Amino acid sequence: MTSVFNPSMLILARESRGLTQSKLSELIGLSQGKLSKVEKGLQTLPEDMLEDIAKKLAYPINFFFQTTPTSPVSHYYYRKKITIPQKTIMQIESSIKVCRRNIDILTESIELPEFPLPTFDSSLETPEEISRKVRYILNLPRGPIQNLTKLVENLGILVFKVDFLHDKMDGLSTVSEKGNHIIFLNSSMSNDRQRFSLAHELGHIVMHFDLPSPTVDVEDEANRFASEFLMPEEDIKPSLRYLNFSKLGDLKRYWKVSMKSLVYRAKILKTITEKQYRNFQINFSRKKININEPILLPEEEPFLIKEIIRLHLQNLNYSIDELSDSLFLLRQEFEELFMAFNKPKLKIHRIQ
């Protein structure tokens, strides 16, 4: 950190709170024109305003003096991104950038498991073939994966449950400046949807680490990877014949995936006809299963960030205040992010 004010950190703080330049200028009593020049580094911030800005944005003053750069947005992979308002995307991106910085600081003294998987070229192999190779490398037994979150975090990938402020955002994956893989999942989704999103993002990590050609449909590839990873054709195909709602419920409990995913998998594997698939969709809609599926699966809780915090507090003898200061966060936000109810969940704060 330096003693020089960093305008880019002001932008990051403002956007992470969901504020426009106009709104922040109104809150602090500075013209938008002057605020714009401050953010562009063309004008210095009046000394008497820094404390007020920090208070309004709920960050400690030292937050604005960080110098570590942040990766561009192109390193993210979104699901259903196109239907999300740009302002919401901006806030999500900025909040994720703050979290990534926190992870890099926290892992300076903690050694995460080394990511054991190679990257694959999806132009040379199908997503299904890659998925089978990943299961083989990980020595997974046949059948369902009992706890996908634990499996992924054992690979050294941090998993966060996130209040994304929008139900169209299922999940995203990113790599921090120091190379930490992180997956963020929508905390409002059911566990079966979270598991599919988690497998989907793992697919991005192993297939799309280097940005693919714009002609490649990375979302379709990640979906195909996830389907084979969670429901391997060789294992599940015999069970997808003669489907009805009762059988779908049993299969959901066993495979820990949604009924909709099972029906779609049956269609892809041709164990049901197109007409049968359409009939299932009609019945899903009529029974409102599209909105709220029956049979709730047990929630899978991430453990890695909780363990990292525990090691800092117990083994490295940090106090909560020291740890929050090291992350450039106020204590209240640190506790909400990393310690609340022993179930850390990233909250994206919006200032009205």
* Residue 3 banded pLDDT, cuts 50, 70, 90: confident
Domains of the chain: residue spans and CATH? 1-67 (1.10.260.40), 70-230+303-352 (1.10.10.2910), 232-300 (no CATH)
pLDDT interval class at 343 (50, 70, 90): low
Q: Are 239 and 272 in contact (CB under 8 A)?
A: no
Select from 209, 170, 172, 167 the least CA-distant residue to 192.
170
The chain-wide mean pLDDT, for the chain, equals 90
Q: What is the mean pLDDT of residues 237-242?
A: 98
pLDDT at 47: 81
Q: For residue 91, give the amino acid letter.
A: Q
Give the pLDDT band (50/70/90) at residue 213.
low
* Identity of the highest mean pLDDT range in 80-89, 114-123, 159-168: 114-123
Residue with the bigger pLDDT between 122 and 166: it is 122
Give the integer Cα–Cα distance in Å for 312 and 278: 53
Percentage with pLDDT > 70 across the chain: 91
- pLDDT at residue 107, rounded to an integer: 95
The pLDDT of residue 69:
80
Give the percent of the chain with pLDDT over 90: 72
CA distance 64 to 147: 40
Pairwise pLDDT comparison (87 vs 82), residue with the higher score: 87
Q: How much is the pLDDT for 288?
A: 87
Tell me, what's the pLDDT at 123? 87
Would the pLDDT of 167 be above 90?
A: no
